[in-house]
Amino acid sequence: MVNCIKNEILPADRKPFIFDTLSVGNDLAFEYWSEAVSAHFSPTQNTTVSSRSCFQGRMEIFPLGILNVSHLHTSAMRNVRDLWSLRNIPNDDFFVMAINAGVGGQLSQLGRQLFLGPGDLMVYDSAREFSFEYLGETDLYIAQVPRRLLEARIKDPQSIIARAITHTNPLASMLLTMIKSFTQLDQSSKVESRNALSKSFVDILVSSLECSLDFTDLSNTHCNLLERAKKIVNINLDDPDFHVGQLAQTLGASPRTLCRIFAAEGTTVTKYLWQNRLLMAHNLITEGRIKQVGQIALQCGFSDFSHFSRAFKKEFNASPKQLLSTHST
């Protein structure tokens, strides 16, 4: 099936192309989707936590000058681009991912981890190892940007990788609106105009990233401190009394220093702690290890069950009880 898909990458007239799992039987749905996303984005190893026969996905690919813009709707799944994929199926493009609706997911790349929810946007690098896990049904847009375009506009592309522009930032809304509008353009417009538009988008993207992200250079000492801090936070996710002051005391660092090193990754200590507690709870539910909401809340450091349920629903667009019921059937 992969060879068939690759031969259909984009027709000569550059019209939009559609992949939909409804076009194949349920038994082939996940295999079809897995091969489609690997052929059109970064070749990855793909898995799903739910039954393959229940998987659903739809993808529309819209060429825009030197970019490809895609609109996807997918069930929960995990994509991993490992060393084997990098060596055997190279691809060095950058990808801009913007979550439009649904649950969202978690990216791991360059030692950074971030959760993307509706309205959030980030860039990942297909020339480096990464994993992305869609934590539930998600609607999103992806713009594929040739490496040379981004590298010509920013001194250190690594500084923008795996760092989110969140939905609270008006620039994230602007970029998502632009990407959406590209899927609605008249495909018969002049090639020169579409090329100019695609290059202008990359200019605006880079400027938005530079305005939104903290590019404070961290010394090796502070980088090591950040990694130690993350490990300590993750070890203490189940402790409801764990706080920034306790972390600072354990590390022998000031709270101000901790604020600065976490800000360099576009987050705060408290946000990192809460997001990882909620991700831990989500994983416990989807893996079927615990069946009671109260027990999950306690194991993930929440003493107030109502507060836990509200925070969980806000993050994943479904309450813990709803997700438990989905994974118990």
Residue-level pLDDT at 226: 86
Residue-level pLDDT at 299: 92
Residue-level pLDDT at 222: 75
Backbone angles phi, psi at 97, to 5 degrees: -110, 130
Cβ neighbours around 87 below 10 Å, total: 8
Confirm if 275 and 115 have CB atoms less than 8 A apart.
Answer: yes
User: For residues 117 and 285, what is the distance between their CA atoms, to the nearest angstrom?
Assistant: 19
Under DSSP, the state recorded for 303 is S
Beta bridge partners of 292: none
Confirm if 54 and 22 have CB atoms less than 8 A apart.
Answer: no
Residue-level pLDDT at 15: 65
User: For residues 121 and 104, what is the distance between their CA atoms, to the nearest angstrom?
Assistant: 11
H helix and E strand count, the chain: 13, 11
pTM: 0.75
Q: What average pLDDT is seen over the chain?
A: 86
- Centroid of chain to Cα 264: 18
| Of the candidates 215, 199, 221, 98, the residue with the CA atom closest to the CA atom of residue 158 | 215
Residue-level pLDDT at 264: 75
Cβ neighbours around 147 below 10 Å, total: 15
Residue-level pLDDT at 214: 65
Which residue stretches of the chain have pLDDT < 50?
Answer: 1-13
| Of the candidates 273, 275, 242, the residue with the CA atom closest to the CA atom of residue 120 | 275
Residue-level pLDDT at 219: 63
Confirm if 161 and 110 have CB atoms less than 8 A apart.
Answer: yes
Domains (range + CATH), the chain: 2-212 (2.60.120.10), 220-327 (1.10.10.60)
DSSP string, 135-198: -S-EEEEEEEE-HHHHHTT-S-GGGGBT--B-TTSHHHHHHHHHHHHHTTS-TTS-HHHHHHHH
| Of the candidates 324, 36, 87, 155, the residue with the CA atom closest to the CA atom of residue 312 | 324
User: For residues 5 and 318, what is the distance between their CA atoms, to the nearest angstrom?
Assistant: 34
Residue-level pLDDT at 120: 94
**Sequence-separated (6 or more) residues with CB below 8 Å from residue 110:** 125, 128, 158, 161, 162
User: For residues 71 and 79, what is the distance between their CA atoms, to the nearest angstrom?
Assistant: 17
Residue-level pLDDT at 329: 56
Residue-level pLDDT at 57: 95
pLDDT digits (tens, 9 = 90+) for 109-163: 988 888 899 999 999 999 999 999 999 899 999 999 999 999 898 878 888 899 8
